[in-house]
Structure 1
Amino acid sequence: MTTGAQAPFEAVVLAAGAGSRFGGGKLLAPFEGGVLLDGALRAALAAPARSVTVVTGADAEAVAAAARAHAEAAGQSRRLRVLHAPDHALGMGASLRRAALELPQDAGGVFVFLGDMPHIPSAVLSPLAQAVRDGAPAAAAAFQGRRGHPALIGAGLFPALRTLAGDEGARAVLRGLGERLALVETQDAGVLFDVDTPADLGRPGLDS
């Protein structure tokens, strides 16, 4: 069993939401030559993680098929897992809890990506990993001092992830860390950009 600084990381892509503000089918909407979900998958597969788990909920079969197609095209099928969250309608917390319950016992941390954030820069991933390797309980990307995504949550916080509820996801867990949360500053506003409505698909600016 690997422990401490040598323990492998995992990655999770939360892709279970119904996208109600979008009008449904958000993660499968055409975007930059593919579908919206591709951006988050690209970032997750670039992370220094042993596996990437896509958590499905609404549109489960179609989202799973899109994820598998992306991983196959990238030659990364062996790293991809698909996990369904039957209680996804309860919110993001339920989806992340479902993933946390399935994390391997030897995992040293988990990267958490959101399926509707397609512009996460890969350059931020290794610094996040290093921050946790250096002892931070968790680390998150930031732009101009504003915390964004993804976050890397160390194994010491897995018990808290396994009791999540509601729609906050990991936010409540990270907020409780205060100054112990390592913020990794990046010059790429992609760590803040998400898609809520169809109009956002053509919006290069920051998350409002």
Structure 2
Amino acid sequence: MGAADADRRAGADRRHAGGRGRQRPGAQRRPGPRPPARRRRRPRPMIALEQCATLVLAAGASRRFGADNKLLAEIEGRPMVEHILMRIAALPFAQRLAVVDDLEGPVAGIARRHGITPVLSPDAATGMGASLAAGAKALGSESAAVFVLLGDMPFVPAAIFAALAARLEDPVSIARPRTPQGPGHPVLFARRHFSALAGLEGDSGAGAVIAAHRDHLDWVDTTETGCIADFDTTAALAAWRGSV
């Protein structure tokens, strides 16, 4: 074999080896198997409800409601306060507390019936700050955050709790619902604010803590009227009863 023949043979071998697995121009590529469809996952809260406490403020005088305890006024066949207590009893919170002004009173009894621990606020008559402080001091180490709720708001929707928890990611440490009518409840506070809540006095409520940390506040916009519907007066309760 001459040198020219050897060169042609070597070139042919190289073309043959290099052509393995290559697609010829114009040839149609067969589609491969499709990857399995991925299921969309729901967004997880940054803090799980199992890491959160709930603190229901159910003490203090009903000054605008008259002589009766408004929390015991009947709504849909139950005492007003029982609605929110049942709501939190049905969710997997780390702690469930209700601040009361009498550990042997009817509100404390309703709380115990639903597995919620009543906490005494001996200075409840001085204002909401005293009740908040009493409840905050009872929070355990297992709670990374606390939902502050009002006992006279029976229609808070269950879904708002996870929505608020989803916002609690550094630097956000306070989350609150916001409706077209204004801010609502519950308000979620990260553990870093527990000491400030425990230091409240008199009628200085959670608003003082929120105002001091506005840079760490985030909102959950909602049209749920249950986040703002409360019954401060007998007229408000009568109006609601007349509308249903």
TM-score normalised over the length of structure 1: 0.84
Opposite residue 106 of structure 1, the aligned amino acid is E
The equivalences for 1:13-92 within 5 A come to: 13-23=56-66, 24-57=68-101, 61-69=105-113, 71=114, 77=115, 80-92=116-128
State the partner residue of 1:171. Answer: 207
User: What is the CA–CA distance in structure 2 between the aligned matches of 1:47 and 1:170, rounded to whole Å?
Assistant: 23
| Poorly superposed stretches of 4+, deviation over 3 Å | 4-7, 202-205
The equivalences for 1:197-208 within 5 A come to: 197-204=233-240
Opposite residue 57 of structure 1, the aligned amino acid is D
CA deviation string 1:66-121 (max 9, x = no partner): 2233x1xxxxx2xx211111111111100010111111123211011100111111
Unpaired runs of 5+ residues, structure 1, are 72-76
TM-score normalised over the length of structure 2: 0.73
Q: Percent identity?
A: 37
Shift of 1:180: 2.2
**Greater RCO (CA < 8 Å, at least 6 residues apart):** 1
CA contact (8 A) 1:12 1:44 kept: no
User: What is the CA–CA distance in structure 2 between the aligned matches of 1:159 and 1:65, rounded to whole Å?
Assistant: 28
Shift of 1:166: 2.1
CA contact (8 A) 2:47 2:166 kept: no
CA contact (8 A) 1:93 1:164 kept: yes
SS in 1 for 2:107: helix
Aligned length: 194
CA-atom RMSD, angstroms?
A: 2.2
In terms of mean alpha carbon deviation, does 133-142 or 88-97 score higher? Answer: 133-142
Opposite residue 92 of structure 1, the aligned amino acid is M
State the partner residue of 2:33. Answer: none
State the partner residue of 2:229. Answer: 193
State the partner residue of 2:52. Answer: 9
User: What is the CA–CA distance in structure 1 between the aligned matches of 2:90 and 2:235, rounded to whole Å?
Assistant: 28
SS in 2 for 1:132: coil
Larger radius of gyration: 2
